Chain A
Amino acid sequence: QMQLQQWGAGLLKPSETLSLTCGVHSDSFSDFYWAWIRQAPGTGLEWIGEINHGGSTVYNPSLKSRLSISVDTSKRQFSLKLSSVTAADTAIYYCAKVIVPTATRAFDIWGQGTMVTVSS
């Protein structure tokens, strides 16, 4: 059973860079697309972006100027970097696997979530 385990700093100051990594415990890493999703306190889910094993990315247009998603296939990991964070970026961040067929953009396996707080 595939598992996703994520890690990264949970407390940031405004203007710092958020950095999270998601490790995939499975031999079939290269078969799938991978995504990041967040949920701010009291609000709904927001899609951040996605990447495949070849490094092709699609970003949420509202975050694109600050966002970078990368992949390390040899380590079966993918990472999120969001620069110049503000309090509005405070949220639970999830990594997730995109189900096949990829065109559905449905997320069937999720990481445990990381609460990231931006505060001075």
Chain B
Amino acid sequence: QSVLTQPPSVSEAPKQRVTISCIGSSSNIGNNAVNWYQLLPGKTPKLLIYYDDLVPAGASDRFSGSKSGTSASLAISGLQSEDEAIYYCSAWDDSLHGVVFGGGTTLTVL
């Protein structure tokens, strides 16, 4: 049972837009930065979004992040087959005094 709750899977057609939610609490998302990672099979994790909505160097601007209260979302526009991966959110948790991750969301591009 992960501290941050993500849907197990989402799917959408190529060229469309999809969003992945991440639900937390006041001790993590509500009070700290949210980050998003992409895990491709056999590859190392890649940072897509940090500090809620910032895109790091090297990441595609097709990825965007937002946060409201104790929930955050990752949006992927212009879906491509190469976007099929598992996506994780994370945040610092003040109560647990550590970084917590969501359970991951598998994206399928139909």
B101→A110 contact, CB < 8 A: no
Residue in A closest to B42 when the chains form the complex, CB atoms:
A113
Residues on A with beta carbons closer than 8 Å to the beta carbon of B91: 105
State which residues 23-62 of A face B: CB under 8 Å: 35, 37, 44-47, 49, 58-61
Q: A83 interface residue, CB < 8 Å from B?
A: no
**A-B pairs under 8 A by CB, number:** 69
Q: B24 interface residue, CB < 8 Å from A?
A: no
Q: Which of B92, B97, B101 contacts A103 (CB 8 A)?
A: B92
How distant is the Cα of A61 from the Cα of B98 in the complex, in angstroms?
8
Interface string of B56-99 (1 = CB under 8 A from A): 10000000000000000000000000000000101110001111
Q: A103-B92, A108-B56 are in contact. Are A46 and B44 (CB under 8 A)?
A: no
How distant is the Cα of A57 from the Cα of B78 in the complex, in angstroms?
41
B44→A99 contact, CB < 8 A: no
Residue in B closest to A99 when the chains form the complex, CB atoms:
B50
Q: A99-B56, A105-B92, A106-B33 are in contact. Are A47 and B101 (CB under 8 A)?
A: yes
A108→B47 contact, CB < 8 A: yes
A99→B47 contact, CB < 8 A: yes
With a 10 A CB-CB cut-off, give which of A58, A107, A113 has the most chain B CB atoms: A107
Residue in A closest to B47 when the chains form the complex, CB atoms:
A108
Q: A46-B101, A60-B98, A61-B97 are in contact. Are A107 and B47 (CB under 8 A)?
A: yes
Residues on A with beta carbons closer than 8 Å to the beta carbon of B97: 58, 61
A contact set with B: CB distance below 8 Å: 35, 37, 44-47, 49, 58-61, 94, 99, 101, 103-108, 110-113
8 contacts between A and B (CB under 8 A): A44-B104, A47-B100, A47-B101, A99-B47, A101-B51, A106-B51, A107-B37, A111-B44
